[in-house]
């Protein structure tokens, strides 16, 4: 299938051609016709699938086709909300690219910087507003933003909004929108709270799901390195020197951890920089731009800061720490192997992270290939910990099973019931513990 099969108008087709894209990605092939028909859409897809163009292209087409010739200030017709500044800027860049022959105008607003430039851009008028929730609400309250003419509303990365505590802001923003509008809702995962929120926003949407397992497993080569916690830095240095990739993204679970990694790499003469929540928005954006321009080879990031990082040809992702939420693993490795590229993702696993690893492998429905041919391989400790855990669990369940059996044999119904109850309780606790991990 080509983009022209999707009945996209020539000025946008030309802009897509300029980007060098020939065929729509699966989410684009499904979403673009649905959105051009004017339907609401519930998209379950992660970044890296081409989902931004999937909503930006039809949006620009609709704006172009309904453009009025009236002179005067432009009124906001479309609102796109994104959880992070990085992602908002990226969406706005996409709009700028795809609209270069249609003439739509967009503005991006986000917190962490002075509002003056943003408010004067708003005063001059635009067709599309891309915003993070906090700054948007702030400017609504101050009277700089009016949403009463919005015809298209996009909520991107809804699950991340929830994680970041933006849900109340979103609900407040929705009350400011006209009820007659086309709404689009994107989320990488669909937990219950997100489904509930989507019901408040969408009419009867078409649902498009792009399975994360497929997108990641097909395009990203994934490798697992067993290593003790204390050897992780040395393994990192070893791999960076061995692989000599142009751009490597390293994920750390904590901000301090990220800074520690940068300090260590500096000592080893490897240029790297960190982005995380303790850095100002401005410095995060600058670092990201420099990384994109290949000014330094290693970027160390925490999950929140890394949302929306779109570096074309990012060759390697290293999970220095395993994420405790399995879906985050998919997000992380989705930074490499974007759209049509092939990527590589390496995960370090120490003995305290085996449960996280298990959950990830369950989610992606595959065992990540273990690489043991390196100087820091340390599977022994992990095997010992695993064996101990299994033994403990087996012993406990055998213990309660034998008690139930003996109560049965003695015909002691009271004892039997009590043992069954405690066994149930034990199994429940075990399941709960497993879930928590």
Binding site for ligand AMP (CB under 6 A): 21, 24-25, 28, 47-53, 310, 312, 338-340
Smaller CB separation from ligand AMP, 308 or 326: 308
Smallest distance, ligand AMP to C-beta of residue 54, A: 7
**Any idea what DSSP says for residue 191?**
-
CB of 403 to ligand AMP, least distance (A): 55
Cβ proximity to ligand AMP: between 210 and 274 the closer is: 210
Query: What is the nearest approach in angstroms of ligand AMP to the Cβ of residue 6?
Result: 11
Nearer to ligand AMP, 155 or 239 (CB): 155
Identify which of residues 53 and 227 has a Cβ nearer to ligand AMP in the complex. Answer: 53
Q: Which of 133, 127, 122, 121 lies closest to 158, judged by CA?
A: 133
Residues 6+ apart with CB under 8 A from 341: 219, 312, 313
Dihedral sign of CA atoms 234, 239, 241, 242 in order: positive
Given a contact cutoff of 8 angstroms between Cβ atoms, the answer to whether 349 and 357 are in contact is: yes
Q: Could you tell me the smallest distance in angstroms from the CB atom of residue 70 to ligand AMP? A: 33
Q: Which two three-digit tokens encode residue 149?
A: 């003419």
Whole-angstrom CA distances from 146 to 21, 118, 137, 155, 278 are 35, 14, 11, 17, 32
Do residues 346 and 317 lie in contact, with contact meaning Cβ atoms separated by under 8 Å?
yes
Residue nearer to ligand AMP on the CB measure, 48 or 326: 48
At closest approach, how far in Å is the CB of 152 from ligand AMP?
A: 17
Q: Do the Cβ atoms of 157 and 194 come closer than 8 Å?
A: no
CB of 234 or CB of 327, closer to ligand AMP: 327
Q: Which stretches within 165-271 are classed as H helix?
A: 167-175, 192-201, 212-219, 232-243, 255-267
CB of 287 to ligand AMP, least distance (A): 19
Cα–Cα separations (whole angstroms), residue 339 to 28, 69, 172, 211, 343: 11, 37, 34, 14, 10
DSSP state of 270: -
Q: Minimum Å distance from CB 267 to ligand AMP?
A: 34
Q: Which residues contact 128 (CB under 8 A, 6 or more apart)?
A: 59, 63, 76, 77, 78, 79, 80, 95, 104, 105, 106, 107
In this complex, which beta carbon is closest to ligand AMP, that of residue 257 or of residue 337? 337
């Amino acid at each position: 299938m080509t983009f022209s099969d999707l009945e996209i108008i020539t000025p946008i087709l030309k802009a897509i051609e300029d980007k060098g894209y020939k065929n729509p990605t699966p989410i684009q092939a499904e979403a673009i016709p649905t959105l051009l028909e004017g339907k609401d859409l519930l998209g379950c897809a992660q970044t890296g699938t081409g989902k931004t163009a999937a909503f930006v292209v039809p949006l620009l087409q609709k704006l172009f086709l309904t453009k009025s010739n009236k002179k005067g200030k432009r009124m906001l017709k479309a609102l796109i909300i994104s959880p992070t500044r990085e992602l908002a800027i990226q969406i706005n860049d996409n709009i700028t690219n795809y609209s270069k022959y249609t003439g739509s105008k967009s503005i991006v607003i986000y917190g962490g910087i002075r509002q003056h430039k943003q408010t004067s851009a708003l005063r001059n008028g635009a067709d599309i507003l891309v915003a993070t929730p906090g700054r948007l609400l702030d400017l609504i309250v101050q009277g700089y933003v009016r949403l009463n003419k919005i015809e298209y509303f996009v909520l991107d990365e809804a699950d991340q909004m929830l994680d970041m505590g933006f849900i109340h802001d979103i609900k407040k923003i929705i009350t400011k929108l006209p009820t007659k509008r086309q709404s689009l809702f994107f989320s990488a995962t669909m937990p219950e709270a997100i489904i509930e929120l989507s019901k408040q926003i969408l009419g009867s949407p078409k649902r498009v799901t792009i399975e994360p397992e497929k997108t990641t497993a097909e395009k990203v080569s994934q490798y697992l390195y067993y290593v003790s916690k204390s050897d992780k830095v040395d393994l990192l240095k070893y791999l960076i020197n061995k692989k000599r990739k142009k751009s490597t993204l390293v994920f750390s679970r904590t901000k301090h951890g990220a800074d520690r990694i940068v300090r260590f790499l500096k000592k080893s003469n490897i240029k790297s920089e960190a982005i995380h929540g303790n850095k100002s928005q401005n410095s995060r954006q600058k670092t990201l731009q420099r990384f994109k321009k290949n000014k330094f080879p290693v970027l160390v990031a925490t999950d929140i800061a890394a949302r929306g990082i779109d570096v074309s040809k990012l060759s390697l992702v290293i999970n220095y720490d395993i994420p405790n939420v399995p879906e985050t693993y998919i997000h992380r490795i989705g930074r490499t192997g974007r759209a049509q590229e092939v990527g590589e993702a390496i995960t370090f696993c120490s003995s305290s992270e085996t449960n996280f690893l298990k959950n990830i492998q369950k989610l992606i429905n595959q065992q990540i290939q273990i690489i043991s041919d390196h100087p820091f391989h340390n599977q022994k400790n992990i095997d010992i910990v695993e064996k101990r855990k299994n033994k403990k669990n087996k012993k406990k369940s055998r213990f309660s099973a034998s008690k139930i059996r003996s109560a049965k044999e003695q015909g002691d119904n009271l004892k039997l019931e009590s043992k069954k109850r405690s066994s149930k309780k034990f199994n429940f606790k075990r399941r709960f513990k497993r879930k928590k991990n």
